[in-house]
Amino acid sequence: MSESGGVNGDMTDAPIAIQLTDIVKRFPGVIANDGVNLTVRKGSVHAIVGENGAGKSTLMKTLYGAHQPNEGTITVNGQDRVFSSPKDAIADGIGMVFQAFMLAANLTVWENIVLGQEPGTKLSLNASEARSRIRELGERYGLDVDPDALISDLGVGDKQRVEILKVLYRGAEILILDEPTAVLVPQEVDALFASLRELTVEGATIIFISHKLDEVLKHADAITVIRQGKTVGEVPDPSTVTSHDLAEMMVGSELPTPETRDSTVTDQPVLELSGLTVKATESGGRDPVHNVSFIVHRGEIVGIAGVEGNGQSELVRSLVGLLPSTGTVLLDGDDIARLTTRERRDTGIGYISEDRQKDGLVLGFTLWENAALGHHHRPPFAKGPWLDVSGTKERTEAIVDEFDVRTPSINVPAFTLSGGNQQKLVVGREMTAEPKVLVAAHPTRGVDVGAQSVIWDILRDARAAGLGTILVSADLEELIGLSDRLLVMLRGEIVAEVDPATVTPAELGSYMTGATTGAH
């Protein structure tokens, strides 16, 4: 079992497990896959890379039978297959771990695993057999989870183990993992691939999606690159390529980097948090945010690193007044900790929420209606108690022009925009309001590289102009590259401050999991 090597011998002679030929998949307004080819050899770890929106997930869902291709053929172990539902794919030994976990939070681990292939008879579900089989699988593959635990009590890593157990429980020999490392720190990534490698020794085939090129080069036996719905490169031997080559194939150029050049940090504090605490909702529970204090200066980007679920999300929400908190928050010297969300926005807090589709935008609203969101009670969006439609439209046109939002018109609903353009609209809306402090949660999550580089530029320019920014991100490169200072959150507290100029992602990862402490 090689943890560092990645290449597991020469795979080019192994029999072909999966062959996808000329797959075409269309959605309204979109050709997600436009003639994709994929060849995966048995026993290999095969990476599919491409930027957001390239059509990787669509392709994998096609292979898993979650939807049907408009054209093209699927061959499994040499035989042509048509999958009308995941049931058919499962029967052929294919299993998939989705990017968003497919787990019912209020049900137990064993219920989530056996669903669809329940042990026992039609009239009686055999729970004890389910438990023992899950324990057995867990022991065999080192995936230990309590079968009776509720999913809602599990952490991200455990949930992923449950997902993999789900697949193994069905006896899958071909495992598809959609961005399995997106929420993991580097150490967890290594552990995950170690387990996966172990599975290949037993004859399993692994297909995983990623856009993290270093990780792909480190762990994959073969790579397929997809760009705008087409296969643009097949790499049977990853040792022959560099990440530069892969980036070239993925986007046709160098990948944008989040590096900030010169420091623009001033010594004027713009936001000072002291003793900020978000109380636990249950008595005796742990406070999601506990006694957090730090200062953001003008022209400074303060990055917050942390494994998902360690309080970053609550910190952000309490800063914009969406969660009640105790402690003080000084904006330019005035305490805003008791203000409502609206009042905070009015005094100069900008907010990019972690999920634009959830609360950053109203998908059914037009772009101009969305451009007013959160600022709608102020000119140019409002005149007294009335909506100023012409003023709003004018401002929207300006945002669309300045922030490169690609849209046929500002009168179309927001759902017609791509993720990147939606996000540019959100960022543009917040920046146009000229905030003193920007609270940005995952500002480039799920956007294409074009939008990503535009958003990074915007953040850098605003920083140069004196904006103080709090940046939360799961993308460690983004955090390290953009931040002037990095704080690590663990179990609701700031546990370390590190210098982004010197820290590596692996070091940062060990702070995030608590393996390394201190460095204040």
- Give the span between the Cα atoms of 141 and 164, in whole angstroms: 10
- Give the span between the Cα atoms of 151 and 164, in whole angstroms: 14
Contact between 103 and another protein per CB under 8 A: yes
CB of 292 to another protein, least distance (A): 20
- Give the span between the Cα atoms of 402 and 434, in whole angstroms: 14
Contact between 168 and another protein per CB under 8 A: no
Rg over alpha carbons for the chain, rounded to the nearest Å, is 24
At 55, list the tokens: 């059509």
Peptide bond into 413 cis (omega under 30): no
Residues 343-372 that bind another protein (CB under 8 A): 343-345, 351, 353, 357-365, 369, 372
CB of 70 to another protein, least distance (A): 12
Question: Do residues 241 and 215 lie in contact, with contact meaning Cβ atoms separated by under 8 Å?
Answer: no
Contact between 96 and another protein per CB under 8 A: yes
Contact between 377 and another protein per CB under 8 A: yes
CB of 504 to another protein, least distance (A): 31
Q: How many residues bind another protein (CB under 8 A)?
A: 97
Q: Which residues pair with 225 in a beta bridge?
A: 49, 233
Identity of the residue, 225 or 373, whose beta carbon is nearer to another protein in the bound complex: 373
Compute how many other C-beta atoms are within 10 angstroms of the C-beta atom of residue 452.
Answer: 23
CB of 401 to another protein, least distance (A): 13
- Give the span between the Cα atoms of 504 and 481, in whole angstroms: 11
What is the per-residue binding string for another protein in 316-335, x denoting contact by CB under 8 A? ----xxx-x-----------
Identity of the residue, 79 or 124, whose beta carbon is nearer to another protein in the bound complex: 124
Strand ranges inside 118-161, DSSP E: 120-121, 124-125
Judged by CB under 8 A, the stretch of 193-201, 385-393, 466-474, 500-508 that binds another protein is 385-393
Identity of the residue, 64 or 511, whose beta carbon is nearer to another protein in the bound complex: 64
CB of 66 to another protein, least distance (A): 6
Judged by CB under 8 A, the stretch of 93-101, 305-313, 472-480, 481-489 that binds another protein is 93-101
Contact between 412 and another protein per CB under 8 A: yes
- Give the span between the Cα atoms of 520 and 518, in whole angstroms: 5
CB of 6 to another protein, least distance (A): 29
Kindly tell me which residue out of 203, 406, 461, 515 binds another protein, with binding defined by CB under 8 A: 406
CB of 196 to another protein, least distance (A): 20
The gap from C-alpha 337 to its chain's centroid, in whole angstroms, comes to 30
Kindly tell me which residue out of 282, 333, 502, 520 binds another protein, with binding defined by CB under 8 A: 282
Alpha-carbon dihedral of residues 178, 183, 187, 192, nearest 10 degrees? -30
Place of tokens 């390239």: 54
Helix 127-141 to helix 156-169 angle, to the nearest 10 degrees? Answer: 110
The gap from C-alpha 7 to its chain's centroid, in whole angstroms, comes to 27
The residue type of 409 is S
Contact between 123 and another protein per CB under 8 A: yes
Kindly tell me which residue out of 138, 374, 443, 505 binds another protein, with binding defined by CB under 8 A: 374
Residues 217-276 that bind another protein (CB under 8 A): 228-229
CB of 430 to another protein, least distance (A): 11
Judged by CB under 8 A, the stretch of 216-224, 259-267, 288-296, 375-383 that binds another protein is 375-383
Helix 449-464 to helix 419-432 angle, to the nearest 10 degrees? Answer: 10
Instruction: Give how far Cα 485 sits from Cα of 65, 273, 297, 482, Å.
Output: 46, 15, 11, 9
Residues 16-75 that bind another protein (CB under 8 A): 27-32, 51-54, 61, 64-67
